[in-house]
Amino acid sequence: MKPTKNYLMAGLILALPIVGCSPKYTEEAKEGFTLVHNQEGSTLGYSTDSGISLLTVDGSAFKDLNRNGSLDPYEDWRLPVEERAKDLASKMSVEQIAGLMLYSAHQSIPGGGNSFFGPVLYNGKAFAESGAKPSALSDAQKKFLMEDNLRHVLITSVESPSIAAQWNNNAQALVEGIGMGIPINTSSDPRHGSDSYAEFNAGAGGQISMWPSTLGLAATFDPSLMQQFGEIASKEYRALGIATALSPQIDLATEPRWSRFDGTMGEDPDLATDMARAYVDGFQSSEDGDWGPQSVNAMVKHWPGGGPEEGGRDGHFGYGAYAVYPGNNLKDHLKPFTEGAFSLKGKTKMASAVMPYYTISYDRDTKNGEQVGNAYNKYLITDLLRGEYGYDGVVCTDWGITRDVANVYEFQGKPWGVENLSVAERHYKIIEAGCDQFGGNNEMAPVMEAYAMGVEEHGEDYMRQRFETSAVRLLKNIFRTGLFENPYLDISETQQIVGNSEFMEAGYRAQLKSIIMLKNHGNTLPIQEKAKVYVPQRFVAASKNWFGIATPERTEFPFNMEVVNKYYDVVESPENADFALVGIHGPNGGVGHDQSDREKGGNGYVPISLQYGPYTAESARETSLAGGSPYEDFTNRSYKGKTVASSNSADMTLVKDTKNKMGNKPVIVVVKVSKPMVFSEIEPSASAIVVHMGVQDQALMDILTGKEEPSALLPFQMPLDMETVERQFEDVPRDMEPYRDLDDNVYDFAFGLDWKGTIDDARVKKYK
């Protein structure tokens, strides 16, 4: 429908079956859409190309999203969200609800290369050859929006904020004109990490504000700072078109070897609970603490806690399929959910969505005794989450759990415990367990097959009601965030909001507060500006990531040397230096599985090490607590007696060699950590040790020079050695013997130094 007709529909309201008084709204033409300003209600946005019209009731404007010429309850912004969602769910076809239950695979804007579903094409061609604009929808996106009725899209990298905003407007205009006019609910994994090489300028903005990782924010021991992050990040998300955060990750990090440790809020139940509550309150609450146009749905993960992976092996792979509870301690893992994210201070009351983890929570199903992945487990979802804890928000599976897998070691599907079911049968089992949505699934067909299975078992009425129950939950999150009223973005406003100088400044201040000083022998730090510094280059070994993408070996400076040069006089030899600055990463001790061990006759399972040098697991369990897979002919996953070494042992060598070269002159070691590590190999060679979880190099320099004082605390323990790591229970927090350094500092939970010595303030007293 042409723009002129939309305006005519607004003006000739007497032709409609609903008659009201004179209009109490005005229209404002924007680039690609129209804003409707109601004097006594919501601001609306609609595309001039989508074909929808405006309805006027009592002088106010409403969008006729299903184009039937009358105002349906779901189109009436005056009504409660619950009533609107139930009305719309009752009107939707089964196919439309099935599409609503999908959450797309990862989408980059523009798309390039390949995805799980093949090459990303635009009009049948690769993006670079297609002539498409960066904000255009890919062929796959058009298909899943139009043919599969998908309305939840996960975006990853974007070329720029303005491109993301334009893509949002293009996508929303497409779906506004089809079906029931249900808008897209776009989501994102965390995207506010810091670029270490970026320089901070208080007067300049960036692509998006840069903050410490979640673990770094936890190191501040300041929930109010976590909430400030949520409040700022939510504004930036909404300016990008993102209305759902696939975060926070509130797994209690009780297993120190777990590769996803760095996404958590640490290992202490009380600290993690307070941080989880603050994060969700920050994201979901608008200015008055309730839902509003700045709100972002928080999807907390991963129920019932993904932290206690046996041996630290991660659930993205079959070798890490089991979470274990040797301390019988599920309750601590539930606490960040039940007392944190589900018990908010703001008016939104609880996190609007939850994601179960891939893992099989071994022997935790006390009702049915099933050993299946958490999203397949009816006890964990229906009985525990929904029944005992009264949670009625959206439950969305983790990504790709219904896809097939060929072995335990490749990055493929993650159908743990149900490998022998068909794809459609997995969908049905997930629905029966009580979940509402399928993460990473673009196709409606298996959901429709699952519906047919349910009809055969329970009858049409039961399955229709079951689908409507999930539809209401999903729709409420779209209604609450105002997307039905206005899903469109003013690109100029997006450019002003995302990464503005105020937000960048707040993120930078948070980075400074996240840096932990563990050692400061003889008050080595701070070292004043313009001292002469020697910075040795770091060797980075060749590696492959989860997706099999290889990175060649290289030697590089560990810091942005242009930044270092602004603070210190960089010299090329230790002899000419006043001190040395060594930048390293914590030990990368592997993933706990090595296929070459299997090929040599072993079971494939090896230790995960938290030290740099070779480690032999002499004290590991003789028999694993859990095990078993259709792709293995054994159940004992023990790695006792096997040896591994960190892939970055060169970092340890670098520290020791630098100490030898510097003699009695100070050696400052800066460690980027992603989980606990054994410090005994490098601490004796360091005059001072500073650790961080991802900050700009400039923030580090501000600490080292004394421009800022370190104030952060360890949100987890640093173990004495690997023996204490083997002895600890995967599900129990703070049960390791911590490392004690040569200055008698104990690297325990809540430890940190400032210029005066060990920090012992209100934060320490509250949480330690």
Question: Read out DSSP for 183-248?
Answer: PPEEEES------TTPPP-TT---SS-----HHHHHTTT-HHHHHHHHHHHHHHHHHTTEEEE---
**CA 166 to CA 459: how far, in whole Å?**
44
Whole-prediction pTM: 0.95
pLDDT at 546: 67
pLDDT at 16: 39
Max CA distance (Å), the chain: 90
- Spatial CA neighbour of 239 closest among 157, 348, 164: 164
SS3 298: strand
DSSP code, position 746: B
- Spatial CA neighbour of 700 closest among 190, 200, 193, 191: 200
DSSP code, position 609: B
pLDDT band with cut points at 50, 70 and 90 for residue 398: very high
For residue 19, pLDDT over 60 is answered with no
Six token digits for residue 446: 């298996």
pLDDT at 204: 72
DSSP code, position 375: G
Cis peptide before 302 (omega within 30 of 0): yes
φ/ψ of 534, rounded to 5, equals -105, 125
Measured torsion, CA atoms of residues 381, 386, 391, 392, in degrees rounded to the nearest 10: 90
Residue type, 532: K
Residue type, 619: S
CA 552 to chain centre: 27
**CA 97 to CA 141: how far, in whole Å?**
18
Instruction: Give me the mean pLDDT over the 190-195 stretch.
Output: 89
Which of 190-194, 360-364, 370-374, 463-467 is predicted with the least confidence, judged by mean pLDDT?
190-194
Q: Are 397 and 437 in contact (CB under 8 A)?
A: yes
pLDDT at 547: 67
pLDDT at 310: 98
Helix H, strand E, coil C: the string for 331-376 is HHHHHHHHHHHCCCCCCCCCCCEEEECCCEECCCCCCCCCCCEHHH
Residues 474-500: pLDDT tens digits?
999 999 999 999 999 999 999 999 999
Residues 453-465: pLDDT tens digits?
999 999 999 999 9
Instruction: Give me the mean pLDDT over the 42-46 stretch.
Output: 97
**CA 722 to CA 611: how far, in whole Å?**
7
Element (H, E) at 495: helix 491-497
For residue 138, pLDDT over 60 is answered with yes
pLDDT at 499: 95
**CA 538 to CA 200: how far, in whole Å?**
24
For residue 2, pLDDT over 50 is answered with no
Residues 6+ away with beta carbon under 8 Å from 325: 308, 361, 362, 363, 364, 730, 731
Q: Are 187 and 245 in contact (CB under 8 A)?
A: yes
Radius of gyration of the chain (CA): 27
For residue 643, pLDDT over 90 is answered with yes
The sign of the CA dihedral 146, 149, 155, 160 is: positive
- Spatial CA neighbour of 396 closest among 301, 465, 538: 301
For residue 6, pLDDT over 50 is answered with no
Q: Are 335 and 249 in contact (CB under 8 A)?
A: no
Burial 79-94 (b: 16+ CB within 10 A, else e): eebeebbbbbbeebeb
Catalytic residue numbers read 268, 398
Mean pLDDT of the chain: 95
For residue 729, pLDDT over 60 is answered with yes
**CA 156 to CA 59: how far, in whole Å?**
42
pLDDT at 114: 67
pLDDT at 197: 81
- Spatial CA neighbour of 165 closest among 241, 96, 254, 221: 241
**CA 192 to CA 242: how far, in whole Å?**
13
Residues 376-394: pLDDT tens digits?
999 999 999 999 999 999 9
φ/ψ of 755, rounded to 5, equals -65, -20
DSSP-assigned beta bridge partners for residue 188: 155, 245
Instruction: Give me the mean pLDDT over the 265-292 stretch.
Output: 96
Residues 6+ away with beta carbon under 8 Å from 371: 360, 362, 363, 365, 417, 628
Element (H, E) at 322: strand 322-323
Residues 658-674: pLDDT tens digits?
999 999 999 999 999 99
SS3 755: coil
CA 501 to chain centre: 24
Q: Are 10 and 27 in contact (CB under 8 A)?
A: yes
φ/ψ of 640, rounded to 5, equals -55, 135
pLDDT at 15: 33
**CA 450 to CA 452: how far, in whole Å?**
5
Six token digits for residue 304: 């019932």
**CA 534 to CA 559: how far, in whole Å?**
12
Residue type, 315: G
Residue type, 153: V
pLDDT at 116: 62
Six token digits for residue 738: 């911590």
Residues 511-570: pLDDT tens digits?
999 999 999 999 999 999 999 999 999 999 888 776 677 889 999 999 999 999 999 999
Six token digits for residue 58: 């009592």
**CA 141 to CA 168: how far, in whole Å?**
12
The CB-side HSE value for 187 (13 A sphere, CA atoms) comes to 26
φ/ψ of 67, rounded to 5, equals 60, 40
Instruction: Give me the mean pLDDT over the 182-198 stretch.
Output: 91
Helix H, strand E, coil C: the string for 667-720 is EEEEEECCCCCCCCCCHHHCCEEEEECCCCHHHHHHHHCCCCCCCCCCCCCCEC
Burial 426-443 (b: 16+ CB within 10 A, else e): bbbbbbbbbbbbbbbbbb
Place of tokens 């697991």: 617
Task: Find the helix packing angle between 269-284 and 223-239, rounded to 10°.
Answer: 30
Six token digits for residue 415: 């159908």
Six token digits for residue 703: 């600490």
For residue 408, pLDDT over 50 is answered with yes
Of the chain, the percentage scoring pLDDT greater than 90 comes to: 92
Residues 315-363: pLDDT tens digits?
999 999 999 999 999 999 999 999 999 999 999 999 999 999 999 999 9
Q: CA 711 → CA 354, 604, 761, distances in Å?
A: 33, 43, 10
Helix H, strand E, coil C: the string for 470-492 is HHHHHHHHHHHCCCCCCCCCCHH
Six token digits for residue 41: 């209600």
For residue 3, pLDDT over 90 is answered with no
Q: Are 354 and 337 in contact (CB under 8 A)?
A: yes
Which of 82-86, 198-202, 416-420, 703-707 is predicted with the least confidence, judged by mean pLDDT?
198-202
**CA 107 to CA 158: how far, in whole Å?**
9
pLDDT at 376: 98
Residue 462 has a CB neighbour count (10 Å cut-off) of 12
Task: Catalogue all structural domains in the chain, each as residue range(s) with its CATH number.
Answer: 3-71 (no CATH), 94-197+223-497 (3.20.20.300), 515-586+648-711+738-767 (3.40.50.1700)
Residues 210-265: pLDDT tens digits?
999 999 999 999 999 999 999 999 999 999 999 999 999 999 999 999 999 999 99
